[in-house]
Structure 1
């Protein structure tokens, strides 16, 4: 879920860059990076501690 929402934010960010809205574009790219980081941390936590939710 986090991965797909992150990819959506990346696409929206690239669209905003094409519209020359740099601040909104950078914000959406940062949101993409943070959501991918959260998704990776979640998967690492599940593999490390499978019984903890």
Structure 2
């Protein structure tokens, strides 16, 4: 079930948290390369897909 109002609020919050993690990983001191790469993985994967886009066997 997709609630448009809730998604409208939680989507930007989620994006902001991903960016905060990415910036912290890039600017943080004493972090290993693998920690930095791992923290950037969500950013590199791009925006989340539309849940209505691939609904499996549900006919539209």
Quick one: higher RCO (CA 8 Å, sep 6+), 1 or 2? 1
Q: Which has the higher helix share?
A: 1
Structure with the greater alpha carbon radius of gyration: 2
User: TM-score if structure 2 supplies the norm length?
Assistant: 0.43
